[in-house]
Amino acid sequence: MARVLIVEDETVLAKNVRDKLRAHGREVAVAHTCKDGLAQAAAFQPDVIVLDLRLPDGDGLDLLPRLKSEAPGSSVIVVTAHGNERIAVEAMKAGASEYLTKPVDMEELQLVVERAVHQQRMSDNLSFLRRQEESSSGLDRIIGNSAAIRTLKETVQRLTRSKALALADPPTVLITGETGCGKDMVARAIHYDGPRAAKPFIHVNCTALPVTLVESELFGHLRGAFTSASQAKRGLFEVAEGGTIFLDEIGHMNLEMQAKLLHAIESREIRPVGATESRPINVHIVAATNKNLQAAVDADEFRRDLYHRLRVVLIDIPPLRERADDVPLLLAHFSNMHCQRFGMPTKRFTDAAIAAMKQHPWRGNIRELSHLLESCILQIDGHVIDAGDLPLPREAVGGDLQICLPGGRVINMDFENGSPALEDVEQSILIAAFEYTGQNLSRAARILGITREALRYRLNKNLEKAT
């Protein structure tokens, strides 16, 4: 329930306002003096304060900043007599959000209070979301202790501690790496650990923007600039003013837009579609791509001058398969996160499961790992996850095939060199299933989809061949 504090020396008026607001479900407190108003503000912590500018023990204009200090999250609506609009304007400059003139229209007052409550709630929600974003976007959220990740963190720390990011022309950053390796997380760490953290972070997915609207989305447009432009629109560069704009998958941007982006970076200004004058910008530009931009430059698919302008600071994120030592840390992080999310008890991974996951190539990198763990946690009832429980797909690359077996065993098929032979693969699978079930012949047969007799025959046959 929203709380409203009325600071008004006219007893009848204060009572009428109180009754009106209470009838609309508001919790209301009343003070008749400056002293009482300060005490009530500190104890009551109102969402909205209705403040008379003339009080018996002081001036409401002087009281206003003190009230805001005692109740920093409140909105203040000042009430003034006819002819005091100039003072009301001064009150607005001092932090008031609205003002009303006496005699007070109760219906108007009700609407103004409701509007203030709504705006306050929106402000609180935005503050909460921002705090939540900041808490999950710092450098400490980048999981890993491999040499590659330690180097990456050191690079980001040097950058965020530098005064260069606070300049009007901060150095651009280019983040490279495969899909799912965490480029977005690194970009957010640069922003939220740096001097621009209090300003917006705007994530732009360049692959999601229609080619015909890229310029309008980034730079904005004036009303009537094109057929569907029924009203003016601020571009994302303006929305990010003072903060960071993250141009994700920039390698997919067309050449025409690349030229305009280069001009914006070089001149530090943009021109909305349909405008005749440019507007200055103060944003930190961070770009990312999973493409080989040097190869794209050589193929005339990406501008060479833009490429070099973007890569002032280059951060390359290695794929997960090149830092397998980070897999156990990522397993613990994502399994705990998903268990908490679904309200499930924490699950433990066996050494065999961890070994199998360290050997998996992770073509989708960290994103693939997170989704696989989410599936495991939802579908496996027990508290322990073994290698055989993991829905690891068979990976085929060229003439090679990798098969993950229960117990952490891996069979690597090399079709080009013809090894190992099919009967050797069959023997490995039979023995792995037999051992996985604790040498339970019936259960192993059910897992393999054959009869108990057939399994016994094949095991004996392979054993005779081995001897």
The larger pLDDT score, comparing residue 10 to residue 464, is at: 10
Region 83-98 average pLDDT: 76
The larger pLDDT score, comparing residue 398 to residue 409, is at: 409
Region 130-157 average pLDDT: 79
Q: Residue 127: give its domain's CATH number.
A: 3.40.50.2300
- Would 353 be classed as within a structural domain? no
According to the model, what pLDDT value does residue 294 have? 92
Neighbours of 191 (CB within 10 A): 29
Q: Is the pLDDT of residue 5 over 90?
A: yes
Q: Based on the domain organization, do 157 and 126 belong to the same domain?
A: no
According to the model, what pLDDT value does residue 398 have? 47
- Would 351 be classed as within a structural domain? no
pTM confidence score: 0.62
- Would 464 be classed as within a structural domain? no
Burial class (CB in 10 A: 0-12, 13-18, 19+), 388: buried
Query: What's at 209, amino acid-wise?
Result: L
For 298-334, the pLDDT digits (tens) are 999 999 999 999 999 999 999 999 999 999 999 999 9
Q: Based on the domain organization, do 85 and 21 belong to the same domain?
A: yes
According to the model, what pLDDT value does residue 185 have? 92
Q: Based on the domain organization, do 151 and 39 belong to the same domain?
A: no
| DSSP per-residue letters across 333-380 | HHHHHHHHHHT----EE-HHHHHHHHHS--TTHHHHHHHHHHHHHHH-
When pLDDT is cut at 50, 70 and 90, the band that residue 396 belongs to is: very low
Are 146 and 326 in contact, with CB atoms under 8 Å apart?
Answer: yes
According to the model, what pLDDT value does residue 438 have? 75
What is the number of domains present in the chain? 2
- Would 152 be classed as within a structural domain? yes
Domain termination site, one of 285, 318, 351: 318
- Give the percent of the chain with pLDDT over 90: 47
Are 96 and 23 in contact, with CB atoms under 8 Å apart?
Answer: no
Domain termination site, one of 86, 109, 132: 132
- Would 121 be classed as within a structural domain? yes
Domain that holds residue 289: 142-318
Token pair belonging to 420: 């190992």
Q: Which of 89-98, 148-157, 272-281, 423-432 has the lowest mean pLDDT?
A: 423-432
Q: Residue 301: give its domain's CATH number.
A: 3.40.50.300
- Would 67 be classed as within a structural domain? yes
The larger pLDDT score, comparing residue 35 to residue 396, is at: 35
Q: Based on the domain organization, do 64 and 183 belong to the same domain?
A: no
- Would 380 be classed as within a structural domain? no
- Would 38 be classed as within a structural domain? yes
